[in-house]
Amino acid sequence: MQVLDGKALATTIKGEMREEVDQIRLSGGNIPHLAAVLIGDNPASESYVRSKVRSCEEVGFHSTLIRRGTEITQSEVLEIVEQLNNDPDIDGFIVQLPLPKHIDEDAVNLAIDPRKDVDGFTPVNVGRMTLGLPSFLPATPNGILTMLDRYGIETSGKEVVVLGRSNIVGTPMTILLSRKGSPGNATVTMCHSRTQDLKFHTRRADILVAAIGIPEMVTADMVKDGVVIVDVGINRVEDDSRKRGYRLCGDVDYKSLESKASAMTPVPGGVGPMTVVSLLMNTLKASKRK
């Protein structure tokens, strides 16, 4: 089985980006600048934002981290967004999700200038993606496409099953893999919590993208031999044998699938690092447009 090592690939791509940024610096061009807004103290969000800031340093980007406590009001969040929209030094920014329950995530998302929406979540970018027009693609789906392309995984004419229908991963993944292009030109089935006879669909998959948020839900009896598996899940499961008291796992049972899959992403070290790289790619694109 081929391990689709997102961590190693991300390191390679960041090296390529570092060389490009060095050339921009030598020519006196605009150094990309990414800002992140982090509200509260969610451990997963903290870890993800730290990874983004560290990656910016590795490729030579400028980065800004704006931290606020959970007591922040919605109007104050919208004010921060407006300031970033109007700051000429900021090429792109993200507002890290999830937000505290009293903050309307849709309102915040709608307030972001699409030209700086390097997460690819605003309606303008989602609409342009759907029509196949130039846009900022959502970070995780774009990272998966990049991984499939770099590892030479053929998608044209293949049966792809996507587990999950979120606006962040599942829905854009079905659009991107089914449209004309490479990777793309696949026949895509989206499955979710209301899907009848899930195994019927998953057993037909040449490529399975699991983004359903249920630890190790996909087992060996649910797939055919030779399947390519992209595991988007990152779940914390209690494990008394571990020093930390828990272990991280994906949405697929990795051990039982090693003997059946032809290629598979590990968790951690698979899709996660590619999501961060995709965010940097979008920021570089935003900087070039400016």
203 is in an annotated binding site: no
Known active-site residue 23: no
**Please, which residues have CB within 8 angstroms of residue 26's CB and are 6 or more apart in sequence?**
none
Known active-site residue 2: no
Measure CA of the first residue to CA of the last residue in the chain; give whole Å.
43
Distances (CA, A) of 258 to 183, 219, 265: 24, 11, 10
Q: Which of 14, 91, 96, 251 is catalytic?
A: 96
Q: Which of 14, 52, 260, 285 is catalytic?
A: 52
45 is in an annotated binding site: no
Say which amino acid occupies 137: L
Known active-site residue 197: no
Q: Which of 91, 117, 119, 253 is catalytic?
A: 119
164 is in an annotated binding site: yes
247 is in an annotated binding site: no
Say which amino acid occupies 120: G
Residue stretches of the annotated binding site? 164-166, 234
Residues labelled as active-site residues: 52, 96, 119
Residue stretches of the annotated binding site for NADP(+)? 164-166, 234
